[in-house]
Amino acid sequence: MFTVLTRQPCGRAGLKTFSRVPAIITLVVLLVSLIVLLTITIIQIHHREVLLPGLKYGIVLDAGSSRTTIYVYQWPSEKENNTGVVSETFKCSVKGSGISSYGSSPQEAPKAFENCMQQVKMQIPEQLHKSTHLYLGATAGMRLLRLQNETAANEVLASIENYFNSQPFDFRGAQIISGQDEGVYGWITANYLMGNFLEKSLWNMWVHPDGAKTTGALDLGGASTQISFAVGKNLELNASGIMQVSLYGYTYKLYTHSFQCYGRNEAEKQLQAILLKNASTQTSLINPCYPRNYTTNFTMERIFNSPCTEDLKPTNYKHDDIITFKGSGDPSLCRDMVAQLFDFKACQDQENCSFNGVYQPKVTGSFMAFAGFYYTVSALNLSDNFPLETFNSSTWNFCSQNWSQLPLLLHKFNENYARSYCFSAHYIYHLLVNGYKFTEDTWHHIHFKQEVENSSIAWSLGYMLNLTNQIPAESPLIHLPLQPQAFWGILIFFIVMVLMSLSFLVYFCASSRNRRHPQHAFDNGVDSE
């Protein structure tokens, strides 16, 4: 009698045998891996088709008291509502002085922009001109002009607006920003560039850095100077200069103050006015802050054409009178004279006051000093971070030089700047040490920088981030698509998982078949008695 045994396919080898836990787990892993592979591939391909790696642009004109600088910023279009992605790609300094100098001839102001704007147009693809926002923010120079002649200030802004409305960009207006806003925007810029707000995690997400601390901002312009830094939460918001800023889902409490008339240029005008007031003659004066053997002539109008020196104007003032200043290169006397620009005795609370009776909590943490601060220490051949003692010795050495030696000491020689670096150094000393109360121990927390990763430290970046809504109030989401390295790493991982799962399933299938049909004497599948 013969019994014929037919071989059954693996799928019919017995549900009981195939329902073992390892086989089920392997099948689940296979299905999950296939789903993940299909999903990430579709998302990656679809995202690349819909959001090509294009760029968006923004333009900000920093209309300062002494000059106007045009900045071009860019960021990937797919990150428009994300953060941490804006970078500076181009900068152009407009020739001539600041726009506030056009108070008597407003129609002439736009002409100075033409050369830089032609270069800006070349930096941005023509098809993106209409979608590129352009902003102009004017600072202390225009604030002073508005105090002096509001009509003239409005006419200057109107003339500039007419010019930019004729340009191919999306002009969003010209405005005079407050000193407090200037300080806050500078603080935002410094911390944004330092990565103190957000950083990329291992999973390519924007997260708030663990234990992140912010850095204070010290800005020295031509007509004003600003100090801004984070303070303790116990300080009340109604205290002078204390404000709250919400960024990236986190709240920061800041102290910020802007000192009008305490920018480098306006402060030097005040010194010249004091020298004139104390002199026995008003035709030839000795200036201890100018280098030895240096002589220059100024008109009375140049010194007293500002609200900052209005109270120091002599009774016999004539705007076209010529005054000759001769440098004596006396660093000790220069420091004493510069001290007269500040009223350090007006503070009843010496610990929580800077100068002129202005409230200021104790400085804490690190600080970024930029603009005029950086230019001055660079002229002294100092960089980034150095002891207070080094700053003083370098100041004394520089101020003791003869005028003929300065072209050999400076990387870039410009008479208007070179003659005033000695004054600037002593001014910075009094401002930071006697004013803001930095000590020998806390001085090394100050970093003098011009830029971070090729982006200038200026209030303009913080200004644009705010106006273009690049700073959301909530934490940002995952950034897609995945970077190429991450995408291929995940792809390879799940391909391996699929192959391993298939191998295990074949193994389980073969094992179950062998258990169902053990080997007999005849390999042809027929058993005999």
Same-domain check for residues 276 and 421: yes
The confidence band for 490, taking pLDDT boundaries of 50, 70 and 90, is: confident
Asked if residue 137 and residue 30 are part of one domain, the reply reads: no
Residues 165 and 27 in one domain: no
| Element containing residue 60 per DSSP (H, E) | strand 55-63
CA angle 110, 115, 119 (to 5 degrees): 125
- The answer to whether residue 182 is catalytic is yes
Instruction: Please check whether residues 290 and 275 belong to one and the same domain.
Output: yes
In whole angstroms, give the CA distance from residue 478 to residue 207.
10
Give domain status of residue 155, yes or no: yes
Are 337 and 402 members of one domain?
yes
Whole-Å CA distances, 226 to 185, 241, 443, 488, 519: 10, 11, 17, 48, 91
Would residue 79 count as lying in a domain? yes
- What whole-number distance in Å separates Cα of residue 106 and Cα of residue 153? 8
For residues 428 and 515, membership in a common domain is answered with no
Residue 186's nearest CA partner among 465, 370, 464, 458 is 458
pLDDT tens digits, 72-110:
999 877 544 444 478 899 999 999 999 999 999 999 999
Does one domain contain both 141 and 40?
no
Instruction: Identify whether 181 is part of a domain.
Output: yes
Q: Which residue has the higher pLDDT, 210 or 417?
A: 417
Q: Is residue 24 part of a domain?
A: yes
Note whether 72 and 118 are within 8 A (CB): no
- Let me know whether 396 and 311 are in one domain: yes
| CA distance between the termini of the chain | 6
Q: How many domains does the chain have?
A: 3
Residue 415, domain CATH: 3.30.420.150
Q: Which of 78, 88, 155, 182 is catalytic?
A: 182
Amino acid of residue 164: F
Q: Which of 31-45, 140-154, 155-169 has the lowest mean pLDDT?
A: 31-45
Domain housing 11: 3-50+483-527
| 480 pLDDT tier (thresholds 50, 70, 90) | very low
Q: Are residues 31 and 142 in the same domain?
A: no
Band of residue 472 on the pLDDT scale cut at 50, 70, 90: very low
Residues 148/118, Cβ–Cβ less than 8 Å: no
Distance, CA of 343 to CA of 45 (rounded, Å): 66
Specify the residue for token string 């300094």.
Answer: 93
Q: 208 pLDDT band (50/70/90 cuts)?
A: low
CA-to-CA distance for 255 and 249, rounded, in angstroms?
A: 20
Residues 6+ apart with CB under 8 A from 331: 288, 395, 396, 399, 400, 422, 426
